[in-house]
């Protein structure tokens, strides 16, 4: 299995799209978390100017994961499987030795590994940005505890991993990339976004929203320092609650991750490769 | 289905339907012997590629059974011993030829030093570092063959391997396939090119409209050699030849007589005609070309006209 994963890492590592997504995600992540709100009116930010200081790093950055980061991870997942249909490489892979599920497992494992630098790069860039802002504001430099950082990084990774798994599923389902990305973004914006917005006034929707990636992702983010006010004012990715407790959010995200992977496996195993 | 020991590929009533109306492969019984180069002939759309996909486990049969190297199609223990190139070879366009093969070697569990060996074997070593998107059609075909050879397989399944090659490339590929078939390796070669199959294969199966319409050696398919005779008077020559007990059939075509008889009888027939006062202008052995047989088989659905 190690060699299968190594092979898939080569496929992802040498693909320009991986690096382009990493670069854009990191730049825009810092831009929207620090540069824009600080440049506009830092005092007017939900967490005040302190939101931009290093000790708020985990919470400030995690706000960007459940929606904005999710779309990037979704694309990465779609590319990982959907492109194989377009290039016809799936049939080449499936005529090697390992079997379809092992190929999928290797692809998922490689994706999981590639998501680590996605999270780390944003945290590193965010740390630099917050340090610079603290220097500008002449504020004392205080960093979050290592334990909080580890948990925040792990939570960010889990949120991205679930979105990437959804991307894989959509790539397999539509046997391509374009429709999969379209459907994925539609889901993120319209299904999760609109239904979450209506959940406040339509109580029957509330149990449904508890299963959304957005509500569970933001719920974890709030337990790690993200401000609910900031989440509520997060543009198209905004969420006004209700938030669920951390164990429930973790369990739902883990279950969704497993379900997306299992469904992808089921489809890959059953369907003809033409 | 475990399959017969002497057969590398065996199918029984293998069928693939798409919906209610399309029957891509219909009740196919096929037997490819171990160590032979088997030509799988058929016109475009006859069901060749669908059959190959079923043999590789890419497509599930609607009904029927198959065994490839003694195991069901798509089983990892079988795939480990099979090299395949189905339709156009497919590779990651942004990866080099070498990296593409490294990815496949990783999945196949093949030692990485095999990559350089097979690239050398197909003559691509000097372009191995270039992105596969920059390869010509012929180079992609060769990279496809290199990928199929990675596992040093017992069974090679090649679908139209000379597609897109220029005449020199086709000749090289034919020589290459012939060499691959030596040393006990089984090769199943799908093609619609008669010359390719005639020159390379030991036995041939002809598929038409999803059904196997003929199977045998090239000579068997071409049928018995006969004689062609041009003699005067024509009717007298036909009467004399028809009277011979060893002659199966005499047909008259454009002033010539096509005689179905063992071609070794040519001297005796010549002598008979000359002694009877018939002027013999031409008398020569002839055998139907594989192309002629193929066209007859695929037009008539199995019954040579």
Looking at the complex, does the CB of residue A15 fall below 8 Å from at least one CB of chain B? yes
Q: Write down the domain spans for chain B.
A: 7-221, 224-287
Nearest to B103 among A10, A91, A273 (CB): A10
- Under the banding of pLDDT at 50, 70 and 90, the label for residue B304 is very low
For position B300, what pLDDT does the model report?
A: 57
CB-facing half-sphere around the CA of B230: CA atoms within 13 A: 7
Q: What fold does the segment set B7-221 form as a domain?
A: Rossmann fold (3.40.50)
- Under the banding of pLDDT at 50, 70 and 90, the label for residue A5 is very high
Looking at the complex, does the CB of residue A7 fall below 8 Å from at least one CB of chain B? yes
Structure tokens that stand for A245 in this block: 């407790």
Name which of B133, B3, B149 is nearest B70 in CA terms.
B3
Q: Does residue A65 register a pLDDT over 70?
A: yes
Do A221 and A65 meet the contact criterion of CB atoms below 8 Å apart? yes
Contact A11 B102 (CB under 8 A): no
Residue B240, classed as helix, strand or coil, is helix
Task: Say yes or no: ipTM exceeds 0.90.
Answer: no
Looking at the complex, does the CB of residue A105 fall below 8 Å from at least one CB of chain B? no
Predicted structure pTM score: 0.81
Span B7-19, pLDDT tens digits: 889 989 889 888 8
Minimal C-alpha gap between A43 and chain B (Å): 48
Minimal C-alpha gap between A20 and chain B (Å): 14
Rounded distance between C-alpha atoms, residue B287 and residue B227, angstroms? 8
Contact A98 B109 (CB under 8 A): yes
Span B16-62, pLDDT tens digits: 888 888 888 888 888 888 888 898 888 888 888 899 999 999 999 99
Contact B86 A95 (CB under 8 A): yes
* H or E segment to which residue B49 belongs: helix B48-55
User: Which residues of chain B make contact with A93, given a CB cutoff of 8 A?
Assistant: 104, 107
**Burial of residue B285 (number of CB atoms within 10 Å: 0-12, 13-18, 19+):** middle
Contact B107 A15 (CB under 8 A): no
Minimal C-alpha gap between B164 and chain A (Å): 18
Residue A182 sits in which domain range?
2-270
- Distance in angstroms between the alpha carbons of the first and the last residue of chain B: 36
Span A15-32, pLDDT tens digits: 999 999 999 999 999 998
Rounded distance between C-alpha atoms, residue B260 and residue B269, angstroms? 12
Nearest to B99 among A14, A97, A273 (CB): A14
Rounded distance between C-alpha atoms, residue B150 and residue B142, angstroms? 12
Domain count, chain A: 1
Q: Does residue B100 register a pLDDT over 60?
A: yes
Contact A10 B95 (CB under 8 A): yes
Q: What CATH number matches the domain at B224-287, 3.90.1150.10, 3.30.230.70, 3.40.50.1000, 3.30.70.920?
A: 3.30.70.920
Contact A95 B93 (CB under 8 A): no
């Amino acid at each position: 299995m190690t060699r299968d994963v190594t092979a898939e890492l080569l496929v992802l590592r040498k693909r320009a799209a991986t690096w382009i997504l990493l670069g854009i995600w990191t730049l825009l992540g810092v831009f929207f978390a620090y540069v824009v709100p600080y440049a506009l009116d830092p005092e007017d930010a939900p967490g005040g100017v302190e939101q931009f200081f290093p000790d708020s790093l985990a919470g400030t950055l995690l706000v960007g994961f459940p929606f904005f980061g999710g779309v990037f991870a979704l694309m990465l997942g779609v590319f990982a499987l959907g492109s194989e249909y377009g290039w016809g490489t799936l049939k080449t892979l499936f005529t090697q030795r390992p079997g379809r599920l092992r190929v999928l497992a290797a692809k998922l494992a490689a994706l999981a590994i590639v998501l680590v630098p996605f999270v780390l790069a944003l945290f590193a860039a965010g740390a630099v940005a917050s340090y610079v802002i603290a220097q500008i504001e002449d504020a004392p430099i205080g960093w979050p505890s290592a334990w909080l950082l580890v948990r925040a990084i792990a939570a960010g990774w889990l949120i991205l991993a679930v979105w990437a798994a959804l991307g894989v599923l959509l790539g397999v389902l539509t046997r391509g990339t374009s429709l999969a990305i379209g459907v994925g973004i539609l889901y993120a914006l319209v299904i999760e976004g609109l239904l979450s917005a209506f959940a406040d006034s339509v109580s029957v929707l509330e149990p449904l929203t508890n299963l959304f990636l957005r509500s569970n992702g933001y719920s974890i983010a709030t337990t790690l320092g993200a401000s609910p006010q900031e989440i509520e004012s997060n543009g198209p990715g905004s969420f006004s609650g209700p938030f669920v407790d951390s164990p429930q959010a973790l369990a739902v995200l883990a279950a969704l991750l497993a379900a997306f992977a299992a469904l992808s496996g089921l489809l890959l195993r059953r369907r003809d490769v033409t | 289905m475990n399959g017969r020991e002497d057969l590398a590929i065996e199918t029984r009533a293998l069928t693939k339907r798409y919906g209610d109306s399309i029957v891509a492969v219909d009740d196919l019984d096929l037997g490819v012997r171990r160590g032979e180069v088997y030509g799988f002939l058929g016109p475009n759309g006859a069901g060749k590629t669908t059959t190959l996909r079923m043999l590789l486990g890419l497509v599930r049969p609607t009904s029927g059974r198959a065994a490839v190297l003694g195991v069901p199609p798509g089983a990892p223990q079988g795939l480990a011993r099979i090299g395949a190139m189905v339709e156009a070879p497919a590779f990651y366009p942004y990866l080099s030829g070498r990296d593409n093969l490294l990815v496949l070697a990783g999945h196949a569990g093949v030692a990485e030093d095999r990559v350089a060996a097979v690239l050398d074997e197909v003559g691509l070593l000097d372009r191995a570092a270039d992105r596969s998107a920059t390869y010509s059609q012929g180079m992609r075909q060769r990279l496809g063959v290199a990928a199929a050879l990675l596992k040093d397989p017992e069974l090679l399944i090649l679908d139209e391997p000379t597609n897109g090659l220029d005449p020199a490339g086709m000749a090289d590929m034919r020589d290459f396939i012939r060499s691959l078939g030596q040393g006990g390796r089984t090769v199943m070669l799908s093609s619609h090119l008669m010359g390719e199959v005639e020159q390379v294969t030991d036995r041939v199966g002809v598929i038409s409209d999803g059904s196997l319409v003929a199977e045998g050696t090239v000579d068997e398919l071409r049928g018995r050699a006969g004689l062609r005779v041009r003699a005067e008077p024509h009717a007298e020559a036909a009467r004399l030849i028809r009277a011979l007990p060893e002659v199966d059939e005499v047909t008259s075509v454009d002033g010539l007589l096509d005689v179905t008889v063992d071609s070794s009888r040519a001297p005796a027939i010549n002598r008979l005609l000359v002694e009877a006062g018939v002027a013999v202008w031409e008398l020569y052995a002839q055998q139907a070309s594989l192309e002629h047989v193929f066209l007859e088989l695929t037009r008539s659905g199995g019954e040579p006209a």
